[in-house]
Amino acid sequence: MPGYNSLEKKLGFLKPLPVDENWSAAEDFLQLISDFCLQEKPRVIVECSSGVSSLVLARCCQLNRQGHVYSLENGSRFVKQSEQQLSAYSLNDYCDVIFSPLTGIVLNAENYQWYDINTFSEIETESRIDMLVIDGPPGFLQKNSRYPALPVLMTRLADSCSIFLDDAGRDDEKNIVEYWLRQFPEFQLTYIDNERGCSILKR
């Protein structure tokens, strides 16, 4: 798809990425996370929601010759699709797509549907999460749908973990970042005004 050509060329993909205009992350967001991944070489990457971003991050790990992606995916159909795509691009050694159904969780007396924490045992435990990419669950499911990511995963994050929140230009995501910074003031925010907005949090 036009607009993704420079990303495909930069990462050396030999065929076009399987971009879905309704679901895939924007090209500028993928450029942002791939640039970070290639420069910082994170060892443990967790992403909330699989797709083209899984291919991009897995390819970065392949180029870095280190690192692994763990992609939490609540839709069984998308798990199969992402696994097939990773295999088709010979990247399945660098990414595990973990079927993680949405389940009820209560945070600050509010109810959320978020990825089943029982599936996190599949994620490498000897190392902390160096890079967290949040592009799910979908915003239409509930208000502030992606809020649980930081409170739930906080104890799994490396001290130097970098967090990338996609769709950060939306009102819900703005609220989420505000709540996070109030709850975890040790994080510093950088906002990237790209197509859909990206908030980057670092300690």
Strand partners, 96: 70
pLDDT of residue 86: 98
As for how many domains the chain has, the answer is 1
Q: For residue 125, what pLDDT is reported? A: 62
Confidence at residue 2, expressed as pLDDT on a 0 to 100 scale: 54
Summarize pLDDT for 56-96 with one digit per residue, the tens.
Answer: 999 999 999 999 999 999 999 999 999 999 999 999 999 99
In whole angstroms, how far apart are CA 98 and each of 52, 82, 84, 142, 176?
A: 15, 10, 13, 22, 24
Q: What is the dihedral of CA 56, 119, 196, 162, to 10 degrees?
A: -70
Q: Is the dihedral of CA 140, 134, 120, 50 positive or negative?
A: positive
Q: Mind listing the pLDDT tens digit for each residue in 156-169?
A: 999 999 999 999 99
User: Percent of the chain at pLDDT above 90?
Assistant: 88
Q: Which residues of the chain have pLDDT under 70?
A: 1-3, 124-126
CATH of the domain at 75: 3.40.50.150
Instruction: Give pLDDT, residue 183.
Output: 97
Domain boundaries, position 119: 5-202
Pull the structure tokens for residue 155. Answer: 């104890």
DSSP 49-118: S-SHHHHHHHHHHHHHT--EEEEEES-HHHHHHHHHHHHHTT-GGGEEEEE--EEEEEETTEEEEEE-GG
